């Protein structure tokens, strides 16, 4: 099986790039795809750049061009729940869009507004988390809400929470999950909290982005190590 791995920003795939061997690069629709191996597993790694359209374009390329057996989206997010904080982690129980009318989405393709994380990938991630040495952060299985905006406003944060009840917010995950769902490919989104999606989000993001990105990437490396 080939693992399709997407990060939106260079920081989100930087650690993974250092672990790749037998690398071959290809540019498709302006995005660079790196195929090779990590921890003995075949992978295709891509930096999609930010936003839903870029993420969906990248995911569809992984499905059609590389025929990946699963998709993992690794990266950072803004926390919107009370039981986690900065540098804690969310695994996607399900994903939704916070800037799209759910009724319309359920009326038209793909006729659902919620995209579940794959149970087998979730269990593998949980197992990997419990085996990470010296892990000093919490994690939970939760809802991730996606939209084309960096959430750093208290009113917007409150509105998103009221409408979608997410554990964190970001800009790509649900788009990738929608493509994976449409192509019947198992998918998991891993998000480490870089900020609290509030008025201090910009400052917190600048401070913790790299650490949070590496937390997510290290979990993925452990998953690859454990996978059969």
Calpha distance 101→113 (Å, rounded): 9
Query: Token match 């419990």: residue?
Result: 130
Out of 172, 195, 209, 214, which one is annotated catalytic?
Answer: 195
Please say if 82 is a catalytic residue. Answer: no
Please say if 17 is a catalytic residue. Answer: no
Out of 12, 152, 167, 209, which one is annotated catalytic?
Answer: 12
Catalytic residue annotation: 12, 195
């Amino acid at each position: 099986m080939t693992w399709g791995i997407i990060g939106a920003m260079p920081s989100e795939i930087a650690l993974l790039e250092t672990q790749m061997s037998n690398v071959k690069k290809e540019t498709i629709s302006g995005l660079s795809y790196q195929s090779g191996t990590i921890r003995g597993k075949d992978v295709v790694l891509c930096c999609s750049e930010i936003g839903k359209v870029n993420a969906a374009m990248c995911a569809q390329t992984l499905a059609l061009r590389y025929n990946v057996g699963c998709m993992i989206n690794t990266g950072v997010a803004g926390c919107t729940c009370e039981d986690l904080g900065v540098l804690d982690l969310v695994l996607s129980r399900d994903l939704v869009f916070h800037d799209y009318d759910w009724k319309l989405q359920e009326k038209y393709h793909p006729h659902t507004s919620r995209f579940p994380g794959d149970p087998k990938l979730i269990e593998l991630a949980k197992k990997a988390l419990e085996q990470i040495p010296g892990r000093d952060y919490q994690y939970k299985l939760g809802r991730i809400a996606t939209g084309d905006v960096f959430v750093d406003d208290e009113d917007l944060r409150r509105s998103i929470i009221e409408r979608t009840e997410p554990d964190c917010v970001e800009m790509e995950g649900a788009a990738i999950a929608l493509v994976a769902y449409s192509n019947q490919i198992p998918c998991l989104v891993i998000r480490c909290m870089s900020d609290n999606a509030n008025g201090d989000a910009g400052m917190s993001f600048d401070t913790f982005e790299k650490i949070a990105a590496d937390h997510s990437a290290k979990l993925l490396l452990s998953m690859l190590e454990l996978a059969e």
